[in-house]
Amino acid sequence: MQNQLEKLANNSKSIKIDIAQINPIVGDLNGNTQKIIKLTQEAYIRGCDLLVFPELSLIGYPPEDLLLHEGFVQQVQDKVTLINQTISNNISIIFGAPYKKDDILYNSAYLIQNSQVYFYHKQNLPNYGVFDEKRYFESGNEPFIFECQGKKISLVICEDAWTSDIISISANKGVQIIISINASPFQIGKHSQRIEQIKQRVLETKTNFIYVNMVGAQDELVFDGASFAMNSNANITLQLPLFKEAVQSVSFTSPITLFDTDPIEKTIYDALVLATKDYIEKNDVFNGVVIGLSGGIDSALTLAIAADAIGTEHIKAIMMPYKYTSNISLEDAKIQATTMNVDYHEINIHIIVDSFNTQLNTLFIGMETDTTEENIQARIRGTLLMAISNKLGKIVLTTSNKSEIAVGYTTLYGDMSGGFAPLKDVNKTLVYQLAKYRNTISTIIPERVIDRKPSAELAPNQADQDSLPSYNELDAILTLFIEQKYSVKHIIKQGFNEQTVKYITQMVLNNEYKRRQSAPGPKISPNAFGKERRYPMTSKFQP
């Protein structure tokens, strides 16, 4: 009877838990530490009992081989000591950081409570897709349960929550709240997957659940935040915003409606803007961007993303016409730059191209004109953009999209030149959708750019569809082959022309060497070019 009374008394106590959805910078131990301390001090003033930060929030995610660098983990421990010595004893905090013991490194959650430091070591280490945690960490094997304001709380890290066994062990010990700290990157449909996974865990355990996710971008990855709380009835009771830092108090009482009414184009566009903004600003070596503005849809969308990311005053747009550049392209490029109030310049490349061709004439005598001469134009443009980048300290944004990069319809050291590629994981059909979406906010991309037939304008009367099937057909084939990894035989069975499928898939395989040399770009799909997709450049495999 006494135990039952004590349990009722504990359940009646209130606890104020706040989620701190933050955007850390990888390796910025000083900056991340000060952010954790500042937000903890503010939370203490608000009367918060427990403040929860994301996975590896002290060092940023993914730290990659920084974890192998001599002295890095010791610096981490020094920052943990500083946090412990600085914050009040009257607030508990949870944050993620590596922990090393006996030369074994763990991906850990730290609990600082009453000046004591406790640890939970992640048990389920992901080693697929963009994740390679087994390269660095060993798995923990023990649950972690603590008390705060009389509540029994269990702590897990990211992938742990996707495993029934790990969660059920804690739930069977009578916990009332499960907290998962995460560094879960964005891709289309990912947030819904998280919700469904946590709903399964809650329905299995009948336990309140708090999901705290990182926000921000790191190289190829974008973290969307979207932290949430779910009560024991599997109802969402708190939802933090996408792609924004936020601190908010948790409630398990009133179910809310999720923000899934936003069009997918808005979510993807916001992801690309954040990725571009963070890549430029976190690197802290560029004072803006330079873009080759061609009058086409890809550069038009890239310019819009850049402007929304860092502001038009930090952008220089360069149009570089040659004799195949149409008047429409010249007009539309200038119209967009003027509408957006972007610094715009034209550099005519006629003389430079002619000079290159003259110098090569003796080597190419008797040979037909082909893509060689087309690529010379693209490479001259790339060289000019890189020269402007060097002189002005602005990063070149590459404008190639995923469809072009997949089949090699892009020039190495030409239009592939640059430091970051916002559209690297965006196929051509989605480029059009995003451009139309951006114009619903304010009309900055000329309608003619969206409506006209796409062309590289490197040869007379050239159109992309001279060399490729329609982008609707191309992107459908590429999605099946790249993102879903289906065989050629399976793709043909879906109703596509056999010759076309074999031609396109062989182009993908043949151009792996180009993609290895391409600029990084944000991942939005289930299978992006970059660290996630590791195919050999030299291979005889026939799919």
- Res 9 pLDDT > 70: no
Catalytic site positions: 55, 122, 158
Residue 380 labelled as part of a binding site: no
Q: What are the chain's domains?
A: 2-261 (3.60.110.10), 266-516 (3.40.50.620)
Residue 216 labelled as part of a binding site: no
In this prediction, residue 163 carries a pLDDT of 87
How many separate helices (H) and strands (E) can be counted in the chain? 17, 18
Residue 296 labelled as part of a binding site: yes
- Three-state DSSP state, 492: helix
Residue 302 labelled as part of a binding site: no
Q: How far apart are CA 462 and CA 395, in angstroms?
A: 30
In this prediction, residue 459 carries a pLDDT of 67
Which of 528, 536, 496 shows the shortest CA–CA distance to 185? 528
Burial track 237-262 (b if 16+ CB lie within 10 A, e otherwise): bbbbbbbebebeebebeeeeeeeeee
Residue 227 labelled as part of a binding site: no
Which of 297, 313, 262, 278 shows the shortest CA–CA distance to 444? 297
Segment 462-473 shows an average pLDDT of: 78
Is-contact 170 206, C-beta < 8 A?
no
- Res 504 pLDDT > 80: yes
Is-contact 436 450, C-beta < 8 A?
yes
- Res 8 pLDDT > 60: no
| Percentage with pLDDT > 90 across the chain | 85
- pLDDT band for position 220 (50/70/90)? very high
In this prediction, residue 535 carries a pLDDT of 86
Q: How far apart are CA 379 and CA 542, in angstroms?
A: 32
Segment 475-487 shows an average pLDDT of: 94
- Res 4 pLDDT > 60: no
Q: How far apart are CA 5 and CA 363, in angstroms?
A: 94
Angle between helices 371-392 and 350-364 (to 10 degrees): 130
In this prediction, residue 234 carries a pLDDT of 95
Residue 495 labelled as part of a binding site: no
Residue 297 labelled as part of a binding site: yes
- Res 146 pLDDT > 50: yes
Owner of token pair 């979207």: 226
pLDDT digits (tens, 9 = 90+) for 376-403: 999 999 999 999 999 999 999 999 999 9
- pLDDT band for position 325 (50/70/90)? confident
Strands (E), 48-167: 50-52, 92-101, 104-113, 116-121, 145-148, 151-157
Between these two residues, 418 and 469, which has the higher pLDDT value?
418
- DSSP for 258-303, written as a single string: -STTS-HHHHHHHHHHHHHHHHHHHH---S-EEEE--SSHHHHHHH
Residue 399 labelled as part of a binding site: yes
Amino acid, res. 149: Q
In this prediction, residue 180 carries a pLDDT of 97
Residue 295 labelled as part of a binding site: yes
In this prediction, residue 464 carries a pLDDT of 64
pLDDT digits (tens, 9 = 90+) for 169-195: 888 888 999 999 999 999 999 999 999
pLDDT digits (tens, 9 = 90+) for 237-266: 999 999 999 999 999 998 887 655 678 999
pTM of the predicted protein model: 0.93
In this prediction, residue 457 carries a pLDDT of 62
Q: How far apart are CA 79 and CA 57, in angstroms?
A: 12
- Res 5 pLDDT > 70: no
Segment 300-321 shows an average pLDDT of: 97
- Res 270 pLDDT > 90: yes
pLDDT mean across residues, the chain: 92
Is-contact 319 345, C-beta < 8 A?
yes
- Res 541 pLDDT > 90: no
Of 8-17, 126-135, 155-164, 297-306, minimum mean pLDDT range: 8-17
Name the helix (H) or strand (E) containing 340.
helix 327-340
